[in-house]
Structure 1
Amino acid sequence: MPESSTQTTAAHRFSLTIDGKRFEFFTRCTGLALSVDLDEFVEGGISDSVVQLPRHITYSPLVLARPVTRLTMETCRWVQESVRRPTRRTARIACLNAADAEVARWDLLNVMPVAWRGPALDAEGTHLAMEEIELVHEGFLPLA
């Protein structure tokens, strides 16, 4: 049976590329969202309806998480350097399936790291040691 263009595929991991530097591989990505702030105007006359007009778009911060690896401190150092020499960058988040094929992607404008969080260290815990990187951005670029 041929695949439909609307068929969904489970995402197994995510890659993050910022200005050509690839950070592999993340197991969780949250914050891919936007919201529209509205101005409300009450119509004259009977005043029984409200007109809502878009004011501007707000983009949520992105948080990507992955298990700690030998690359963890490299990511931490990259965030520190990026904050010391702030530059807005272009980024891509790609959603990959089990065969490493790209299922979806989001290209982001003017990305800047704002936080790095290392693992909670607990020798008695049963959870994986995780790191997180938090990014802010100014919107999604159109697909090429």
Structure 2
Amino acid sequence: MPTEPDASPINQFSLSIDGEDLGLFTRCSGLALSVEVDEVVEGGVNESAIHLNTRIKYAPLVVTRAVRRNSKDLCQWVQKSVSEPSLSTGQIACLDQKGSELAKWELRDVMPVAWRGPSLDAAGGSIAMEEIEFVYGGFIRKA
């Protein structure tokens, strides 16, 4: 099997929900799934158990970025979304240093569940960050 060259470093992630561009983010975590498994032990068979898939679980998706002048728009979008809940479709894409798309996932049944603003510490010297947490019901790798 031929090997691919190393991928370009990922600089940021773009996120859109129901076609609305929510902007660029510098961190994304939780794009993951796991399968719950029931273990069934057969009577008289002592060597091994049978494992049956029961359901797929998806970890919460969290995107993070530095606070910007238009961060209030994102916070207001989350507030509106949680006060009028609905399941949406989303897309998240990994972008390289030039802004070219490296990979993309389509998310189904997306719903924001939390917005976290920065820890305010003028003496800390760190960048003020905001993050949004979403739950979702599955994803498909698009590119």
Q: What TM-score bracket applies, with the shorter chain setting the length?
A: over 0.9
Give 2:119's aligned residue: 120
User: In structure 1, what is the equivalent of residue 70 of structure 2?
Assistant: 71
**Match for 1:44: what amino acid?**
G
TM-superposed CA distance for 1:5, in Å, is: 4.8
Distance in 2 separating the partners of 1:6 and 1:98: 16
Question: 1:131 — aligned with what?
Answer: 130
Identity within the alignment, % = 50
TM-score where L is the length of structure 2: 0.93
Q: Which runs of 5+ in 1 are unaligned?
A: none
1:18 corresponds to: 17
The residue type paired with residue 25 of structure 2 is F
**Hey, which bits of structure 1, 4+ residues long, moved more than 4 A?**
none
Aligned residue runs from structure 1 range 26-45, under 5 A? 26-45=25-44
Q: Secondary structure at the match of 1:141?
A: strand
Count of matched residue pairs:
141
Amino acid at match of 2:124: G
Structure 1 residue identity aligned to 2:14: S
Contact 2:37/2:53, CA 8 A, preserved across alignment: yes
Counterparts of 2:60 and 2:84, CA distance in 1: 20
Q: CA deviation at 1:43?
A: 2.0
| CA displacement, residues 10-33 of structure 1 (integer Å, 9 cap, x when unaligned) | 100001000111111100001011
Q: Structure 2: where are the runs of 5+ without partners?
A: none
Q: Distance in 2 between matches of 1:9 and 1:80?
A: 35
How does the TM-score come out when normalised to structure 1? 0.92
CA RMSD of aligned residues (A): 1.5
SS at match of 1:12: strand
* Matches of 1:6 and 1:136, distance apart in 2: 33
Q: 1:78 to 1:10 in 2, by over 3 A?
A: same
Mapped partners of 2:8, 2:136: distance in 1: 27
